[in-house]
Structure 1
């Protein structure tokens, strides 16, 4: 893939660099309790399939946040780097990490039942409960 089609970014201190050619241009917000504890607010993330690469991997610390997923962060500056589904190796990356992620569409909010009342987004989005999201994942894995 050409250099122009690569999306690149880094953690706050620059010890970890991320590049991908497989970004989903649909931005989603996750309101689950874990994401809010992890980042202090809803996770605004983009899905990156397994076409993601890291430079400075020795600076990545991984936390097993559940049986099915892990979260990565820079052990030097603490920046959140990714949420990874272990079964299908899909990464969800905080959108703010990327330097050149233009033309994204914010159109989905998940775990809407866990969203606190003190904030809301102005965008018109599809809203899914955690149960609906897990149901979608289980039915798509049954098809594969």
Structure 2
């Protein structure tokens, strides 16, 4: 784990994240695909480990009953996903690896909603990667299973 800095496309939103793990994952749910234009490939960092330089242009949208997404209000870059509903998964930020200044060094260790992944998406090195279907995600995340994706 290490510290990494990053920001949006126009530079209005900047952050530093401490103890960033090297393990990344991909989410193929319909909402993440619409938000990113592809899969969300991100890394989970505790909220308290992320320091925003200036939140003036950091917008938030409650994207479902249980989660919000952060974005730059100037350029629209997606900055984070966060579960807001009280659960074991609330509080952490899922930071897209593309917002880091240095996006090398991450290893994709899991993919979720694999059963709704478009057939045109393919990633190298799938051996050993944990794959979860929509039903498996809903079972694991419990409280979120009753909500829409």
TM-score scaled to structure 1, two decimals?
Answer: 0.86
Aligned length: 135
CA contact (8 A) 1:10 1:98 kept: yes
Query: What is the aligned partner in structure 1 of residue 146 from structure 2?
Result: none
The SS at the match of 1:71 is strand
Deviates more, 1:69-78 or 1:16-25: 16-25
Query: What is the aligned partner in structure 2 of residue 72 from structure 1?
Result: 70
Query: What is the aligned partner in structure 2 of residue 108 from structure 1?
Result: 110
| Matching of residues 10-89 of structure 1 within 5 Å | 10-50=7-47, 51-86=49-84, 87=86, 88-89=90-91
TM-score scaled to structure 2, two decimals?
Answer: 0.83
Corresponding position: 1:93 with 2:112: no
In the TM superposition, what is the alpha-carbon distance from 1:99 to its structure 2 partner? 1.4
Q: 1:128 to 1:99 in 2, by over 3 A?
A: same
Distance in 2 between residues matched to 1:133 and 1:102, nearest whole Å: 27
In the TM superposition, what is the alpha-carbon distance from 1:129 to its structure 2 partner? 1.2
Corresponding position: 1:133 with 2:137: yes
* Structure 2 gap ranges (5+): 144-149
The SS at the match of 1:22 is strand
The SS at the match of 1:21 is strand
Q: 1:12 to 1:49 in 2, by over 3 A?
A: same
Distance in 2 between residues matched to 1:116 and 1:103, nearest whole Å: 26
Structure 1 residue ranges, 4+ long, deviating more than 4 angstroms after superposition: none
In the TM superposition, what is the alpha-carbon distance from 1:101 to its structure 2 partner? 4.6
